Amino acid sequence: MFLFKKQTITVDAFTYHPGIHQYYPITEARHNFPDWWKSLPKTAIARAKNGMQVPIGTARTCPGILTHYITGLVVPMWSDLIIQTTRDGGFLHEYSANTFMPQIVPHGEPAITNLFVALKVSTPWMLKEKTGVDFYLNTPYYNSLHKINRVSTTPGILNFRDQNTLNLSILMDKVDNTIMFNAGEPVIHLIPLSDKKVKVKCHLVSREEYDNIYLTHYRSSFINTYVKQKKRCPFH
């Protein structure tokens, strides 16, 4: 039984912001069920074709939502953030935090930027995971129902052995608009492409230690900045 016991994937998350480490750590997804879902009753009454009233399950018992939220990790917004967009593709942003915040820059190919305001929001976290398991990065959809028609997160797959940065890429319509992200609001859902359980350990480090994590992976190319290590035999 010991030989076939599932291993646990451990993600180490590093930040040099004491407030973010204390108040807005990365957590397991199971701690982030949306409030509207938690307030639902498990059953509701529906009318059958013959007119009888019968009990049915609500979204509270939906196996798709349940499995979604017991899998992976969730990154919350680390400060209130306001982003204003204009119809010509411009944008302004402002964090509420009175300390240094990660940068927000335009990001995307013409096929995208011709249609949307495309932004890369750097997070205040560096992540490490030693096995190289891939994670599917997506929006915490059910936590974002109030704004999904105005802003969307672009999905992707990455690991945290071959690189350590974590960025939030968002698309917004080219209109005069204002979007508010609240501190603590889930903004990234990292789902491991594995059936192993995943846990996270958050660490507060110095700015120098944080920068050294970024420098761990030497970027020798303008193009291939994310190079996966070759798989090796686990028995060497």
Closest by CA to 225, choosing from 156, 162, 181, is 162
Predicted pLDDT of residue 59: 94
Assess whether pLDDT exceeds 80 at residue 10: yes
**Sign of the four-CA dihedral 167, 171, 174, 180:** negative
Domain assignments of the chain as residue spans, ordered by start: 8-27+77-214
Alpha helices in 83-180 (DSSP H): 110-113
What is the torsional sign of CA 39, 42, 45, 47? Answer: positive
Assess contact for 90 and 106: CB atoms under 8 A: no
pLDDT score at 148: 86
- pLDDT, position 217: 77
* pLDDT exceeds 60 at position 231: no
Q: What is the pTM of this model?
A: 0.88
* 46-103 tens-digit pLDDT: 988 898 999 999 999 999 999 999 999 999 999 999 999 999 999 999 999 877 788 9
Q: What is the mean pLDDT of residues 34-43?
A: 94
What is the fold, at CATH topology level, of the domain defined by 8-27+77-214?
Deoxyuridine 5'-Triphosphate Nucleotidohydrolase; Chain A (2.70.40)
DSSP alpha helix (H) spans, the chain: 18-23, 35-38, 63-69, 110-113, 207-214
Among candidates 85, 138, 92, 157, which has minimal Cα distance to 116? 85
CA-derived radius of gyration, the chain: 20
pLDDT bucket at 130, cuts 50 / 70 / 90:
very high
CA distance linking residue 225 with residue 236, whole number of Å: 27
User: What is the share, in percent, of the chain residues with pLDDT greater than 70?
Assistant: 90
Q: What is the pLDDT of residue 98?
A: 76
For residues 160 and 128, is the Cβ–Cβ distance under 8 A? yes
Contacts of 86 (CB under 8 A, 6+ apart): 174, 175, 176
Per-residue pLDDT of 182-230, as tens digits, reads: 999 999 999 999 999 999 999 999 999 999 998 887 766 767 666 666 5
Counting beta carbons within 10 angstroms of the beta carbon of residue 203, is it exposed (0 to 12), middle (13 to 18) or buried (19 or more)?
middle
Short-list 22, 15, 136, CA closest to 72? 136
Average pLDDT over residues 122-146: 95
Cross-strand pairs, 82: 94, 180
Q: Is the pLDDT of residue 2 over 90?
A: no
Residues 184 and 77: beta-carbon distance below 8 Å:
yes
Count how many Cα atoms sit within 13 Å of the Cα of residue 8 in the half-sphere of its side chain.
8
Q: Residue 5: its pLDDT value, please?
A: 63
Query: Mean pLDDT score of the chain, rounded to an integer?
Result: 91
**Residue among 216, 40, 37 at smallest CA distance from 129:** 216
